[in-house]
Amino acid sequence: MSGERISRIALDDGGIKHRSVEAEHERMVAITDLMHENTFEPVGLGSGPYDVLLRIEEGRLVFDIRPMEGEKKTKVSLSVQPLRSIIRDYFLICESYYEALKAASTGKIEAIDMGRRGVHNEGSELLEGLLKDKIRVDFATARRLFTLICVLHIK
């Protein structure tokens, strides 16, 4: 397994204690999937694996990154602004999806889920592009990170 990967990730969510069951499930799945497989190559930081703390600070997405072997730590930040509308759209379609699960037909649930996955993919591609000069990630890693970024935006 390549050293250019995340070996531990945590969210600094300001101590949020009450998330919906669905949001907590999404957070746990994203972290579990990331730990199973990811590609994460911070530009100019030496080899990993990496310990990552993900947080929002003053309207910026911040990755605090530390190689597991060594003291050199770096902070990579980028504006959350380009992601705001896609995060908002993702939250809206997720609400529709979770409501549909309660009473809608299978066809309607599948249609909403396809839309939800499409918006998620769009956010993941945008994130991958925003990170490309700072941290190289593959699409699957970008998808999981996008999920965690959305979790950080839950109030």
Strand partners, 66: 51
Q: Using the Cα atoms of residue 90, residue 95, residue 101 and residue 103 in order, give the sign of their dihedral.
A: negative
Q: Mean of the per-residue pLDDT values for the chain?
A: 90
Q: If we measure between CA atoms, which residue out of 78, 101, 82, 83 comes closest to residue 25?
A: 101
User: Cβ contacts of residue 5 below 8 Å, gap of 6+?
Assistant: 38, 39, 40, 48, 49, 50
Global pTM?
Answer: 0.90
| Predicted local distance difference test score (pLDDT) of residue 1 | 45
Does position 47 have pLDDT exceeding 90, yes or no? no
Q: How confident is the model over 42-58, as a mean pLDDT?
A: 88
Do the beta carbons of residue 36 and residue 49 sit within 8 Å? Answer: no
Question: What pLDDT shows up at residue 155?
Answer: 63
pLDDT in tens, 77-131: 999 999 999 999 999 999 999 999 999 999 999 999 999 999 999 999 999 999 9
